[in-house]
Amino acid sequence: MGLVQLLKSQFLSQLIICYVFLVSGLIVNLLQLCTLPLWLVSKQLARRINIRLGYCISSQMVAALEWWSGTECTLYTDPKSYPLYGNENAIVVLNHSFEIDFLCGWTFCERFGVLGSSKVLAKKELSYVPVIGWMWYFLEIVFCKRKWEEDRRTVAQSLQNLRDYPENYWFLLYCEGTRLTPKKHQISMQVAESKGLPKLKYHLLPRTKGFWVTVQNLRGAAAAVYDSTLNFRNNEMPTLLGILNGKKYHADLYVRRIPLELIPEDEAECAAWLHKLYQEKDSFQEHYTQTGRFPGPIVSPPRRPWALINWLFWCCLLLYLLGLLLTQLISSGSMLTILASLAFCSTVSLGVRWMIGQTEIDRGSSYGNKEESVNI
Ligand SMILES: CC/C=C\C/C=C\C/C=C\C/C=C\C/C=C\C/C=C\CCC(=O)SCCNC(=O)CCNC(=O)[C@H](O)C(C)(C)COP(=O)(O)OP(=O)(O)OC[C@H]1O[C@@H](n2cnc3c(N)ncnc32)[C@H](O)[C@@H]1OP(=O)(O)O
Ligand SMILES: CCCCCCCCCCCCCCCC(=O)OC[C@@H](O)COP(=O)(O)O
């Protein structure tokens, strides 16, 4: 193990990264709160400011993936579609199989300049996660309870609000609705069987209602669906803790651009279209397993320096302030202050560990896990 790798694997290095993320994140959340009065005066200006503030948070995680862990992200796509990426609104359909799939998604957003404005249909529980969840309120992320009776109206309304969004965005949909586990897969395939649908080997059966409502409400605002299939080399199952440890992974993403006009308007036809899409995605994963690559040419966008620059800025600022604080603390010699500081460090460490837990499949929800949810 080299010296740099040893440094990356140290608890102290990781504690510093977490401290910078948490404190800068809370500062940004506070600044976002301050933009509230601006929404009444100029909604579009408030949105543009929040896009940049949001970038300060999400790009730190991207920088950790790209620059700290050195993870490589390869894009397989049609070179004719490539110039459109980042220059139009799009609905992204991505497989939900990995703990850091969202982070790889963010990395591609960063490389095409839409990280600050990127959107997702997220479970409501994530809105309570400090920093990320709070940031999402101001970025008009669409939350759902994964209960269609309650979601159909709120999700449609939130999507309508995005129609006049001032900057290009990608709207991410994990149509499976939850991360893949063997048990969820087994139950999901029972549902597929009961519906007379072919079984999927690598995906859960997609939930079609969210996709249909998204396509219908963003028709005319989004130009295309980006069908995206992600996998990692060497059968790796990457984790956020691995990234913080400086472990390098290699992500491969296969993207097909499908113009929105090609997607049926009728709900049942749209559902059938999505099921067919997932059967195709399954065949791409099979191809990847057999050959170690996706079909088509590689057109990879390079890393940009902005995420790293933002991260270095926050590190310098917050480590300087921490240094000042520690100097005062040591010179004061007060046992109480020293104990209070140790308590602060433990809180930061436990707080971020809890947030990382949100990304862990083993601690995932029971959604899609219960036999009673199968309508056979
Ligand atoms: C060039 C580069 C291109 C791309 C780069 C890639 C990506 C970058 C893009 C953007 C990045 C942006 C942000 C990323 C950052 C962070 C994101 C992090 C996480 C957030 C993700 C989540 O929170 S996922 C969870 C929430 N989302 C969803 O659930 C979406 C999918 N769900 C739906 O659409 C649902 O329909 C719903 C949520 C709208 C409603 O839920 P409900 O449970 O009520 O669903 P349904 O009514 O659809 O379900 C009932 C039907 O399902 C059948 N059923 C029952 N049991 C099962 C089962 N176990 N499996 C499958 N199906 C089941 C049942 O029979 C019903 O069938 P019907 O025929 O009646 O429909
Ligand atoms: C600089 C790096 C510092 C790292 C600090 C850690 C920050 C943690 C950020 C938490 C972000 C939370 C995003 C989680 C996304 C996710 O994957 O959610 C799962 C849901 O889709 C489905 O949930 P489930 O039904 O449980 O499978």
> Which CATH number do you get for residue 223?
3.40.1130
CA distance 84 to 1: 42
Q: What is the ipTM of this complex?
A: 0.96
Give the residue, by CA position, lying nearest to ligand 1 atom 43: 146
pLDDT in tens, 167-195: 999 999 999 999 999 999 999 999 999 99
Does the residue 366 lie in any domain? yes
**First vs last C-alpha separation in the chain:** 54
Does the residue 313 lie in any domain? no
In terms of pLDDT, which residue wins out, 372 or 297? 297
Query: Per this entry, what is the length of the chain?
Result: 376
The minimum-distance atom of ligand 2 relative to the CA of 363 is 26
Using the mean position of ligand 1's atoms as its centre, give its distance from the Cα of residue 208 in Å.
Answer: 7
Amino acid making up residue 229: T
The minimum-distance atom of ligand 2 relative to the CA of 311 is 1
Using the mean position of ligand 1's atoms as its centre, give its distance from the Cα of residue 147 in Å.
Answer: 10
* Residue 173, φ and ψ in degrees, nearest 5: -125, 120
CA distance 349 to 311: 19
CA distance 70 to 64: 8
Q: What token pair was written down for 326?
A: 């520690």
Give the residue, by CA position, lying nearest to ligand 2 atom 23: 178
Q: What token pair was written down for 351?
A: 């707080």
Identify the nearest ligand to the CA of 365 by its number: 2
Show the DSSP H helices in 42-115 as ranges. Answer: 43-63, 101-111
SS3 156: helix
Determine whether the shortest distance from the Cβ of 106 to ligand 1 is under 6 A.
yes
Q: Which residues, other chains included, contact 120 with Cβ-Cβ below 8 Å and sequence gap of 6+? A: 102, 141, 142, 171, 172, 173, 174
Does the residue 182 lie in any domain? yes
pTM score: 0.95
CA distance 356 to 363: 10
pLDDT in tens, 251-307: 999 999 999 999 999 999 999 999 999 999 999 999 999 999 999 999 989 999 999
Identify the nearest ligand to the CA of 110 by its number: 1
Determine whether the shortest distance from the Cβ of 122 to ligand 1 is under 6 A.
yes
Does the residue 76 lie in any domain? yes
CA distance 360 to 358: 6
Pocket test of ligand 2: the residue of 358, 366, 367 to mutate, having most ligand atoms within 8 Å of its CB, is 358
CA distance 14 to 58: 17
Q: Are 252 and 230 in contact (CB under 8 A)?
A: yes
Determine whether the shortest distance from the Cβ of 123 to ligand 1 is under 6 A.
yes
CA distance 116 to 306: 12
Determine whether the shortest distance from the Cβ of 209 to ligand 1 is under 6 A.
yes
Determine whether the shortest distance from the Cβ of 255 to ligand 1 is under 6 A.
yes
The DSSP result for 304-350, as a single string, is: -SHHHHHHHHHHHHHHHHHHHHHHHHHHH--HHHHHHHHHHHHHHHH
Does the residue 347 lie in any domain? no
pLDDT in tens, 91-130: 999 999 999 999 999 999 999 999 999 999 999 999 999 9
Does the residue 278 lie in any domain? yes
The minimum-distance atom of ligand 2 relative to the CA of 63 is 1
pLDDT mean over 317-339: 87
Which pLDDT does position 371 carry in this prediction?
Answer: 55
Does the residue 315 lie in any domain? no
Does the residue 348 lie in any domain? no
Separation in Å, CA 282 to CA 102, 197, 271:
19, 13, 17
Give the residue, by CA position, lying nearest to ligand 2 atom 18: 359
Which pLDDT does position 348 carry in this prediction?
Answer: 86
How many domains does one find in the chain?
A: 1
SS3 342: helix
Strands (E), 185-322: 224-232, 250-259
Q: What is the domain extent for residue 297? A: 3-306+357-371
Ligand 2 pocket: which residues have CB below 6 Å?
Answer: 17-18, 21, 60-61, 64, 102, 123, 126, 129, 132, 174, 178-179, 352, 355-356, 358-359, 364-365, 367
Pocket test of ligand 2: the residue of 26, 93, 99, 102 to mutate, having most ligand atoms within 8 Å of its CB, is 102
Q: Are 121 and 142 in contact (CB under 8 A)?
A: yes
